[in-house]
Amino acid sequence: MPRLFVAIDIPEALCTFLHTMGRGIPGAKPVDAAQIHLTLRFIGEVDGGMAKDIKEALNDIHLPAFPLTVCGFGHFPPRKAPRVLWAGLAPSKELLHLRNRIERLLVACGLAAEQRKFSPHITIARLKNSPLKRIGEFLAGNALFRSEEFQVSTFVLYSSRLLKNGAAHTAERSYPLNN
């Protein structure tokens, strides 16, 4: 059964930069630059029929392309020992509109509604026993980070296979946004 998620690809140069930033903390395992993305909706394992329905349903999204900017960093969970280091995004009504449209279509396909609040972020590293002081210094030192704006002109349905060294993602289908 395929394990699926919907995401936006990040420009290659920005992925390389974010991968480098993910190495800045002891105990951090940076996400491979080729795997960096912005998840819009994690779907999980579905059978082949549902996967086909999802692929077809996402064709019904006809929205304009829009700009995004990466800004600031943070970690999850926010009040416990940090396990994930992430880059944030500037507020975007267009991003939320796309994500909400995807959510409605997936629910119409028969998937359960996502219960977690959408918190747009780009995972850049997994943390294990990273010193809180170093995480705090990293966050404070990069609080004003802001990337150049980039244009989002497609979103992608990915399948994911869990491997020893992490997940391997395969683009199943790309969906264009209107320019």
Nearest to 37 by CA among 93, 95, 119, 121: 121
CA gap 122, 19 in Å, rounded: 11
**Cα–chain center distance at 80:** 21
Which amino acid is residue 87, in one-letter code?
A
Tokens of 40: 């819009």
Task: Identify any residues that bridge with 30 across adjacent strands, giving them in sequence order.
Answer: 125
3-state secondary structure 160-176: EEEECCEEEEEEEEEEE
Q: What is the longest distance spanned by two Cα atoms in the chain?
A: 49
CA gap 53, 129 in Å, rounded: 42
Report, as residue numbers or ranges, the catalytic residues.
37, 121
